[in-house]
Chains A and B, each alone.
Chain A
Amino acid sequence: MTEPGRSAQTREPAQHDASVRPLVDPNFTRLFEEHFGFVCRSLQRLGVREADMEDIAQELFLTVHRALPESDQSRPLRPWLFGFAVRFASNYRRLSWHRGRELDDVPVSPKLHDKLAAKRTVLRALERLDFDKRVVLVMHDLEEFTAPEIAEQLNLPLNTVYSRVRLAREAFRGLVPAEPESRP
């Protein structure tokens, strides 16, 4: 869960006339490879069905590719990417065709039973959480972004972040059993 420094992702310095750049910016390729899992996980926690994940991730990274040259390279990358996930997940929720579909029934293998049961518990509770609360809970308690990072990314006052996380935890607490379901 370490956050790779943004400097590791930075684009090459300004090109001079003789320089040559390859097909796809290698910085983007690196970013994609390092953060594909993070983006998919974030999208899923924000309500994107597993079956739709690749579609949404593809569109998201296409947008990231366009935005990369204009982004502030000195800022942490993951909160920035998470901002895209929030927007895409929010849009996804507006799509009409999957409304009413049940959450993915996560298959449970004996080996991963506890982990997947926990995942199912968390995703089901998140699904019933108000979207704003869901976003801060995922950012703060699951991805462990700092409150100032969240405040900056969501353009919220710091105290609002704190209070929203508190409220989100309370609401989340009301939505999960004391012990995760299916745990022995």
Chain B
Amino acid sequence: MSDLDPLPHDLRTLFDDERDAYPDNPAAQARVHRRLETAIVFSAAGATTAAAVAVAAKTGLLATLTLEAAKHAKLWIAVSLAAGIVVGETHARLAAPPAPPPPVVAPIASLAVVPVTKSPIVATAHSANEPPSIAVSSLPASTSLPALVPSTTALPAPSAGPSDLAAEQSLIDTARSALSRGRGDDALRAADDHARRFPRGRLAEERETLAIQALLLVGKRGEAVARGRGAMSRRHGLLCAVMVGAAVGCENLQDLGSHRFSGEGGAQLPGFDAGTGTGTKIFFVTDGRYTGDLGGVTGADALCTTEAREADLDGTFKAWLSTSSENARDRIGKVGPWMMVDGSLVFEADPVADLPKTFLRYTAKRTDLFFDPDPNVWTGTNKNGALTRADSTCQDWSSGLAKHRGTHGILQGLQYWTDYLTIDQTSELSPCTERFRLYCFEQ
């Protein structure tokens, strides 16, 4: 058995013609690229979680995190994020030789990441469904935090003569170096010095990031929380949120994917965006499937909140449902971002401003529904976040009868997440006897 015969002439002609029938689609390419960019930046922030875990481990915050717990979920999420490995995915490249360890944190926004050590936390090879067994004690003792330095091209330079920048850099280097040696107080001193001299300097974001790491290192979690709330930019806020949230949450063995942790004095994390006091919120799909008789939207909201509590998530949740008197977009609001419990971003702010950033696949307990045979979700809501039509709400979600109808979305399609009729306009509305899921948004 060796080479193949040449392709017969008619097939060759057919294939040549076929190849020419895939014109470029710049509009689609631009749309996908824009959505990808957001998702990638958010993933990078999620990866930073691992760095926070490393701090927590060194400072004893993780003292109660046993190997067993780490195996089950918490550390696994952070470590897999750090290594760029997605749960449930196997590496497509079967024959690839061993690759060098990836950097612990991918670049983010105007911040760039420079691993301080050559061997950061790296997940070991593992099968898709088996989290790597990494004990806290096995984390590299010398693990240092990645240093975050602002891109010199991305930030304005309010005060910036060359000598100022050099002075700033020197202080930041001192702080980073102290941090990498585990000397939080020294790092804080350098950061404070920087804050006094260059409150809005070019390296201010990095200073704040280092300061938060240092505060965590010396056990001042409340201050770390407060400092995180004073985020200097939206992306910086996100970074702080993930960092601080992870460290505080780990102590309580909460899911690293969840971020709504309480700091000292009951302060709530995270301060995502200075000025608004809003934070990253959780989105999930219900594990339960329900008829159209949800007890009205109030009952539906309660179902969401109940599932959240069962998964140890705090906060108030509302279901993505429209009624004859209120549209879903008004019930939920536009104050995101929302992410799933795996740490992936789904909506940046307004759920109807753009398509979801990734498939809406996880329950509060992190069950992946992507291949579930029941991907339908009650919504009564069109892609604009408004009531689909008057008869699409199972009598304002109070009827489980076949004579009433409702509309639904599908969690397996970004474009159809809230409105299946978009793709299948000939289909009937679903009878309210059907058992569908709900989308739940934290408020």
Contact = CB atoms under 8 A, between A and B. Distances in A.
Interface of A: 1, 15-25, 28-29, 32-33, 36-37, 40-41, 44, 51-55, 57-59, 61-63, 65-67, 69-72, 75, 80, 83-84, 86-87, 91, 94-97, 101, 106, 112, 114-119, 121-122, 140-142, 147, 152-153, 155, 159, 162-163, 165-166, 169, 172-173, 176, 178-180
Contacts of A16: 114
B147 interface: yes
Contact of A72 (B93, B109, B152, B372): B93
Contact of A70 (B33, B91, B151, B414): B91
A23 B109 contact: yes
Interface string B219-253: 00000000000000000000000000000000000
B39 to A, nearest CB: 6
B4 A63 contact: no
Given A69-B84, A118-B21, A17 B116 contact: yes
B115 interface: yes
Contacts of A72: 93, 96-97, 99
Given A17-B147, A36-B32, A52-B413, A178 B10 contact: yes
Q: Point out which of A18, A58, A180 has the most chain B C-beta atoms below 10 A from its C-beta.
A: A58
Contact of B28 (A54, A122, A173): A54
A116 B195 CA distance: 63
Nearest to B423: A51
A119 B25 CA distance: 16
Contacts of B425: none
13 contacts: A17-B147, A20-B152, A22-B107, A22-B151, A23-B109, A44-B22, A54-B32, A55-B355, A58-B35, A87-B92, A94-B371, A97-B420, A122-B18
A67 B40 CA distance: 12
B31 interface: yes
Contacts of A91: 370-371
Contacts of B116: 17
Interface string B143-158: 0000101011110000
Contacts of A22: 107, 112, 151, 153-154
B385 interface: no
Interface of B: 1-4, 7-8, 10-11, 14-15, 17-22, 24-25, 28-29, 31-33, 35-37, 39-41, 43, 84-86, 89, 91-97, 99-100, 102-103, 106-110, 112-116, 147, 149, 151-154, 355, 358-359, 370-376, 410, 412-415, 420, 423-424
Contact of B110 (A23, A54, A86, A106): A23
Given A37-B25, A106-B21, 12 more contacts: A33-B29, A57-B32, A58-B32, A65-B43, A71-B96, A71-B99, A72-B93, A84-B92, A96-B375, A112-B21, A122-B14, A169-B7
Contact of A155 (B21, B94, B371, B423): B94
B430 to A, nearest CB: 13
A13 B359 CA distance: 34
Q: Point out which of B1, B17, B41, B413 has the most chain A C-beta atoms below 10 A from its C-beta.
A: B17
Which 6 A-B pairs rank lowest in CB-CB distance, beginning with the nearest? A118-B17, A119-B21, A70-B99, A69-B102, A115-B21, A66-B84
Per DSSP, are chain B's interface residues mostly helix, strand or loop, or mixed?
A: loop
A23 B375 contact: no
A152 B35 contact: no
B84 A142 contact: no
Nearest to B24: A37
A52 B154 CA distance: 35
A147 B4 CA distance: 9
A152 to B, nearest CB: 5
B410 A97 contact: yes
Given A63-B86, A72-B97, A180 B14 contact: yes
Contacts of A153: 94-95
Nearest to A123: B18
A75 B110 CA distance: 31
Contacts of B3: 147, 162
Contacts of B93: 67, 71-72, 80, 83
Contacts of A86: 92
Nearest to B12: A141
A69 B106 CA distance: 10
A71 to B, nearest CB: 6
Given A71-B96, A180-B14, A24 B107 contact: yes
Contacts of B97: 72
B234 to A, nearest CB: 13
B412 A95 contact: yes
Contacts of A180: 14, 17
B101 to A, nearest CB: 8
